Amino acid sequence: MANAHKQVFFRFHLALLIGWVWASVSFAQAPLVNILDSDGLPLYGAHLSFSKDSLEAPVYRVTNAKGETEIPLALPCSVEVRYLGMQPQRLVLQGAGPFRIQLQADAVFAPEYVVTAHSTPTRMEETVYQARVIDRKRIDAQGAQNLRDLLSNDLNFRLSQDAVLGSSVQMMGVGGENIKLMIDGVPVIGRLDGNIDLSQINLQNIERVEIIEGPMSVLYGSNALGGVINLITKKNQAHQWEGHTTLFYETVGNYNADARVAWQKGRHQASLSGGRYFFDGFRSNDSLRRVQTWKPKEQYFADAAYGLSIKKMNLRYQGQYYRETMQFKGSPEMPFGIAATDKYFYTDRIGNSLFLNGFLKDRHHLDVTAAYNYFFREREVLRKDLVSLDETPVETSTDRFDLWMSRGIYTWQIDTAKLSLQAGYEVNYETGQGPRILNQEQDQLDLAGFAALEYRPHRKISLKPGIRYGYNSSFDAIPIPSFHARFQPIKFLTARASYARGFRAPSLKELFFEFVDVNHNIYGNPNLLSEASHNAQVGLSFDKSLNKNLRFSAEANGFYNYIDNQIRLTLVNVTDDSLVYRNENISYFRSLGTRVQSSLQWKGLQLQAGWSYTGVENGLQDIPEDQNRLAFFHEGRLNLGYDLRRYRTSFQLFFKYTGRQPFLYSSFDESLQTSVVQEGYIDGFANMDASLTQRFLKNRVTVTFLARNLMNITDVRQTAGASGGAHSSGSNALPTLWGRSFAVSLRYQFLAGKK
């Protein structure tokens, strides 16, 4: 069965690739426009919007490696050119072409683009989706080394920490398997307890992070009920040679080093990056040094990419490698304290991805991804003599998961003013092997087709219905509809509303995987039902440049989630050693809330403030009626930044307050001999970071000084229960942050040659 699925997968995509490459080179070429910087070097990835009439919707294009793109409309026509860090230009193209446009550096306000929900770059204010973008400037200013660091400052993101499983996130009250995490549209595999460890996702080669809130199941299928987090790697390049090397040290025990080099010439582009991150561990009390609350870990990673431009199409291969070793050293055993049991967890993640995207011809855009991801986790248990330091193997177990996936999206702009069609397919074939998987091996195949139609009866109104339907080898799939609307009554005010259905089949781990150690006793459940959800959102955003130096923006959003048969870990038994949990379907889950935030930019000053209020309800059959209700918590955020451009100096302050949070926990009632669900609370806490950045040698050398967790938060008190998850420590202290620390980052970048 597994081999048959693989053969179908390979043959299907080989035929598609041959056909699309042939089609991409066979269309006649339209007049070209060439976008250059002030030095005459081509700008790869510049965004152009062409239009014939002010009442018509524009047609978008992106420049290739030569800084070129074809003009999709008949001449004469208007074009607006934008590139991050450059002053935008708008002009009329007339004549025979080709055309040459030079951009000047240092735009005061650069527009943001999003590709996750459209496959083609779309300006944020023009998308129908509720989207957010975290750019590279914010990543560097925050000193974020991984995705956990970065999301810790954003509203509607609730992070949690587990000693073995790492960091996890909830978004709009929904988390675990319901949040889809991707890199360039390729899912990241390797979930444990339903979550991807965010500390394993480094940001060294990331250009920006795009966040789509609410179900994206029509486009991205399973694991997208709660939203999508898509990390976009660096691809744009203005010189023949570009690169950087970074050294990072933090007093808590972080020692990081990474480097990247990229080359581009003509139609060819290649890059290579890698690094080593080491964390020495952290303990929040004066216990023995070998017993750490935050476990020591060592990470190695590497990325390699090669791209080729074929007229209007771009073909790109990207390979990724990740290796982590985590130490879990046990306490000396009584009565003599001369021996201990240590555990080592080894994680390997390998990804190979092939991307084909571009315009087959005018108004016809194609975006195809094919990928193979490999995840390997080994657990080694050793008995250590603390006197002789000899180690005796006790147990070794390995688990392996493979994912073959492909997604193709075809976009046809039927009418430049009113109508565009988006259609595509998605294939996911996952296998799992290991001693802790039922029958040692399981597989799951998911096939789907989807379509969305965007209709613009007026330039100020966009309506986008969509639907997805597919096949799952283990569960009956259901049609998944969605509807998104955007209304822009005036240029700087935009209203959005959406409804989306969601569907998620249980994963292989939820069905068949067993995870048992000193902290966890979790069992899969082959009798699980699939999840289905409803989501509604409304939003209003205001964004206006009041003059050349002043810009103000504000937004208010509201959301509602309802999930049938949500899969949750449930306490099913109590043993002498631990609590036993199993994946079960609960009756329902719902969450609702609101978020308001504003931003002010004046010359070098940036000020951001926001507040969110979220309520969650878990519909459990055995919960008391008075507890079967929404429980709310709030968050607040304040960020302040100031750029002294004349001196190449910038200062940033990041503050976030997380209010008292409710959580449900299970405990075993000895008198009733059954598990009882109760509600507890996690105390609120505040976190504040600050950074100072100084640039030297024409911005080639950057030094950043960081002060983290200035309020010295470590553990946060829980009012009841051992934990809100699958933990059995019995502690009322929840590890949340490591204490106050200071860090310094030294970065050198080089630019050389013309492309």
The residues near 734 (Cβ < 8 Å, ≥ 6 apart) are: 160, 161, 682, 715, 716, 717, 718, 723
Domain presence at residue 184: no
Structural domain harbouring 619: 227-469+483-752
What token pair was written down for 87? 């002053």
Is it the case that residue 729 has pLDDT exceeding 60? no
Phi, psi of 177 (to 5 degrees): -65, -10
At 578, the pLDDT band (50, 70, 90 cuts) reads low
Rounded Cα distance, 274 and 234, in Å = 13
Q: How far is CA 94 from CA 28, 52, 645, in A?
A: 20, 12, 38
At 721, the pLDDT band (50, 70, 90 cuts) reads very low
pLDDT of residue 225: 75
Q: Which residue has the tokens 């889809």?
A: 180
Q: Which is higher by pLDDT, 111 or 149? A: 149
At 107, the pLDDT band (50, 70, 90 cuts) reads very low
Most confident of 363-367, 433-437, 518-522, 684-688: 684-688
Domain presence at residue 721: yes
Q: Mean pLDDT over residues 59-72, rounded? A: 81
Q: Mean pLDDT over residues 320-345, rounded? A: 90
Domain presence at residue 168: no
Same domain, 520 and 667: yes
What single string gives the DSSP state of each residue in 49-67? Answer: EEESSTTSPPEEEE--TTS
Range scoring the smallest mean pLDDT among 203-217, 455-469, 597-611 = 203-217
Q: What is the pLDDT of residues 338-352, one digit of tens each?
A: 899 999 999 999 999
Q: Mean pLDDT over residues 704-712, rounded? A: 95
Domain presence at residue 729: yes
pLDDT of residue 519: 58
What is the pTM assigned to this prediction?
Answer: 0.83
Closest CA to 481 of 498, 495, 497: 498
pLDDT of residue 712: 93
Q: Domain holding 51: CATH number?
A: 2.60.40.1120
User: Of 91, 107, 123, which residue constitutes the final position of a domain?
Assistant: 107
Same domain, 373 and 512: yes
Rounded Cα distance, 128 and 466, in Å = 12
User: Of 84, 107, 130, which residue constitutes the final position of a domain?
Assistant: 107
pLDDT of residue 67: 81
pLDDT of residue 39: 64
Q: pLDDT above 90 covers what percent of the chain? A: 36
Q: What is the pLDDT of residues 286-295, one digit of tens each?
A: 556 778 888 8
Range scoring the smallest mean pLDDT among 9-23, 98-112, 116-130 = 9-23
Cβ of 593: how many Cβ atoms within 10 Å? 23
Q: What is the pLDDT of residues 6-44, one digit of tens each?
A: 555 555 555 555 554 444 444 445 788 988 877 677 777
Is it the case that residue 545 has pLDDT exceeding 80? yes
SS (H, E, C) 148-165: HHHHCCCCCEEEEEECCC
User: Of 78, 107, 136, which residue constitutes the final position of a domain?
Assistant: 107
Same domain, 101 and 233: no
Same domain, 99 and 236: no
Q: pLDDT above 70 covers what percent of the chain? A: 85
Contact indicator for 351, 319 with CB cutoff of 8 Å: yes
Contact indicator for 537, 559 with CB cutoff of 8 Å: yes
Cβ of 754: how many Cβ atoms within 10 Å? 12
Environment class of 498 (CB within 10 Å of its CB; exposed 0-12, middle 13-18, buried 19+): buried
Q: Mean pLDDT over residues 207-220, rounded? A: 84
Domain presence at residue 287: yes
pLDDT of residue 520: 61
Angle, vertex CA 664, rays to CA 662 and CA 669, nearest 5:
135
Q: Which residue has the tokens 């918590």?
A: 633
Beta strand spans in 103-250 (E): 113-114, 122-123, 131-135, 157-162, 166-171, 174-175, 179-183, 186-187, 206-213, 227-233, 241-250
Per the prediction, the chain carries an average pLDDT of 83
Q: Domain holding 680: CATH number?
A: 2.40.170.20
Is it the case that residue 537 has pLDDT exceeding 70? yes
What single string gives the DSSP state of each residue in 566-622? Answer: -EEEEEEEE-SS-EEEEEEE-SEEEEEEEEEEEEEEETTEEEEEEEEEEEEEEE-TT
Q: Which is higher by pLDDT, 730 or 56? A: 56
Q: What is the pLDDT of residues 423-461, one digit of tens each?
A: 999 999 999 888 877 788 888 899 999 999 999 888 889
At 728, the pLDDT band (50, 70, 90 cuts) reads very low
Range scoring the smallest mean pLDDT among 83-97, 456-470, 554-568, 576-590 = 576-590
Contact indicator for 363, 72 with CB cutoff of 8 Å: yes
Q: What is the pLDDT of residues 499-517, one digit of tens each?
A: 988 888 888 778 877 766 5
Closest CA to 571 of 559, 586, 593, 552: 586
Beta bridge pairs of residue 378: 346, 398
Is it the case that residue 681 has pLDDT exceeding 60? yes
Domain presence at residue 4: no
Is it the case that residue 245 has pLDDT exceeding 60? yes
pLDDT of residue 28: 45
Domain presence at residue 236: yes
pLDDT of residue 495: 95
Domain count, the chain: 2
At 722, the pLDDT band (50, 70, 90 cuts) reads very low
Domain presence at residue 474: no
